[in-house]
Structure 1
Amino acid sequence: MMKRPRTLSAAFVRTVNRPGVYGDGRGGRGLSLRVHRTLDGRITKTWRQRVRIEGRLTSIGLGPYPEVTLAEARRKALDNSRGVRLGQDPRGRGVPTFAEAAEKTIELHRQAWKAGSPLPEQWESTFRLHAAPLLAKPVDRIESADVLRSLASIWNSKPAAARKAQHRITAVFRWCIGRNYRPDNPVERAVVALPKANGHTTTHHRALPHGEVAAALRAVRGTTDTHPSAVLCVELIVLTAVRPGEARGALWDEIDMDAARWTIPASRMKAGREFAVPLSTGALDVFKRARKLEGESPLVFPSRTGGPLPPKAPLRVLKRAGVASTLHGFRSSARSWMAESGVPAEVAEACLAHVPRSQVVQAYQRSDLLTRRAEVMQAWSDYVG
C-alpha cells in the first residue's frame, strides 16, 4: 500500500491509484488531489481547493491531472488565496453584473432618501425599461456601445426619461468605480455620440488630439512678437486645464509656491466654489518665469497697461503660433488624455473643477481628491512637456 505523504510530490501524484482525497499538507492552501475510480474501472484525478469566501468554506475545482500538474495546481491555489485576501471571488463571481451593481447602488442611495420614497421603485423601473442591454453583463465588460444602445431609442422621443436613465446609469458606474470594478464611466463617451433633444448635435470647442498638444505648446513658447504675459498665460492654461478667465485673473496672493498650490476664490469660479489647483513642476516653472517679468502688479499675467489681460490676448498667441485650438479646447484635450490613460472619471472631472450634478453624488464625493489630482496633473505636465 502506498503511504500517504505529508505533502504531495510529483511522483506520488503520478503513481497513486487508490481512490481518496490527498491533501497537500498544512501549507498547501487547501489544495488536494481527488482520486476516483469510474464505473468502467478507470482512475481519474482532479485538483480541488478549499477556501473560505465571505465566511463560508467553498470547494473550487482547479482542473484534472495530468492536464494540470502539481506545480500548476499549487500556483493556482496561491493565486486564489491571494485573491481571497483582497476580497475577490476566485470562482469568477467577484465582478457583479450591472443588475447586481444597480441593486447595490439603490441600497446605498436609499440611506439618503426619505422613508417611503418611491425612488427605489422608480430607479428599478428605469433600469428594467432602459438599461436592458446592460443588465446581464459584468460591469467591467460593458462598453460605451452598450450604453448607447440603451439610451438611443429614447434620447429624442422621451428626453425626460433619457436624462433620468443617463443620471441613474451613471450613478451605478460611479459605484463600480468606487469599488474598483472598473476605472471609468462609459456613459460619458456614449452621450457624446447622441444628438441634443432638439435635433441639433452638440457643438464643441475646437480641440487638438492630446498627442498634438506638446507640439502646440512648443509653438506657443516660440512666439516672439506677442506680450510675454499672454504667452505664459496660455502655457498655464494648457498645463493646469483651468478655464481661460481663471488664468487671466490669477493673483500672486492666490499662489503658494512652497505648497505647489493655487487657490482660486469662489468669486472667479464658474461653480461659485473655491477651487485648489495642484501645481505640477511645469506650472511652477511658468509662475517662476512670470515673477521675472518687470512690474509690481498683483496680477500674475498683467497687460502692458498693468491691468488684466484682455480675453483676446491669449487667443492672439494661439493664432500667431498656428495652433488650431481654442483655449477652452485644451481642457477637452486634457480630459481625453485622462480617459485614455485610465484616470477614474470622478478624478478627471475634479481636475476640471466640474461639480457633479447629482446632490447625492456630491454628498458621497466629499474629498476634493487633491492628492490624486496632483498626480494626474503632474503626469499631464510630463506628457505635454
Structure 2
Amino acid sequence: MALTDTFVRKVKFSGASAGDKHTDGQGMHLLVNAVGKYWRLNYRFAGKQKTLALGVYPAVSLAAARKRRGEARELLAAGIDPVQAKQEAMRARATAQSNTFEAVARQWLTKSAARRAASTQKKVQGWLSHDVFPRIGKIPIADIGPRDVLETVRIIENRGAIDSAHRVKQICGQIFRFAVAAGLVGHDITADLKGALSAKPKSHYSSITNPSELGPLLRAIEGYTGHPYCCAALRLAPLLFVRPGELRSAEWSEIDLDGAQWRIPSHKMKMRVEHIVPLSTQAVNILRDLAQISGKGKFVFPSIRTPERCMSENTLNAALRSMGYSREVITAHGFRATARTILDEVMQERIDLIEHQLAHAVKDPNGRAYNRTAHLPARHQMMQRWGDYLETLRRGAEIIPFSANNLN
C-alpha cells in the first residue's frame, strides 16, 4: 500500500541492522534507521540494479519525493540513467559555484593583460574592484542576468560618470565573451543592454590648430622653468605628437639618437603594433641634452620621486595649466590633433604619411595594412619639415618665461 503523510511522520526505527524499508510503490521506499528517514528509488538500468537517493525526510516531504520519483522515471523512459544525471548536475553546480564572476574576471584580466598598457590594466582592475565585484563578484557567472549588470553600471551612471559606465559595461561584455569561449555561459548577456544607458557625451581632446595661436604656446613651453624632465617632455610633445602615455613611458633602450629614430614596442601602443617615430634634428638635440641627466637610467622621463617609474600621467597637463592654458584650450593629447590639422591643411603633407605617423591604421590599395616601416624615408622627411616649421613658429617673438615647482 502507498505511504501516507501520517505514517511517514510517526514511523519509528525498529532496530533492524539493515534499517526498515517501507514501500510506496514504483520502486520508491522510505528507509528508516537510527540516524533518520531517507527516500530511495530502486530501478534497473542497462541490466544493472541501482538505487537513487531522493532526499531526506522531513526536508523532502512524501509529495516531493514522489515528484522526484516521477522525474527519475521520465529520465529512464528517455534512456537516461538518473544516478548519472544527478552526478552531472552536482558537478555542474560545483563548477558554477567555483566560477564566480570575480574568479572568471580575474582569469580574463591575467590572460588579456598583454593587450593593454599597464596604466589601462590598473584602471580596469580599479573599476572591477570598486564598482563591479562588490555587487556581482560572488555570483556564479552562469547565474548572472542582464539586469544584474545593468543595475551595477547604473550606479556608476547615476554618480555622473556616464563614460565610465559605458566602459564598465564593455569590460563586463569582454568577460562574458571570455566565459563563452571557456564553456561557462551560453552567450554575452550584455548584448541585451544596448541602449539601456544614457548616451555618452561627445568629447574631444582640446587642441590648438591655428598657427598664430600655436606660436605663443611654443614660446611659453620654451620659457617654462619647471623640472628638466617635464620641460623636455613638453618640448617634445608637439614635435613627436605621440600619445602622452607613450611619451612619458619612453625608455632609452628604445631610442637610437644616431639613427634619429624611436621604436615604441607593441605592448605600449594602443593598436598593439610596434611604432617607429622618426626624430627631427630638433627632437634629437632635446634628447641628447636630456641624456646627460637621465641617460643612465631606464626611463627617458623618470619620476622625480623614484627612477623605477616614469613621469606621472598628470605632469604635462599640470604644466600647461600652470602656464595659463586651460583644459578647454589645450591638453597634452591635443598635440596630436594640432599636428594632424596643420600638417594637412597648412603644410599640405600627404594624408597617408600623417596617419602613419599618428599610428592610425592605414591600408594599401589592396586593403592590406601597411607594415611599421612603410614610407619610413618619406616620414623622416615630413617629421623634419614639421620640426623646422615649429621652430619657425616658435621664433616669432621673444620667449615668455613661466615657472612651476614640484611637478612630477
Higher relative contact order (CA 8 A, sep 6+): 2
For normalisation by structure 2, the TM-score amounts to 0.43
Largest Rg, 1 or 2: 2
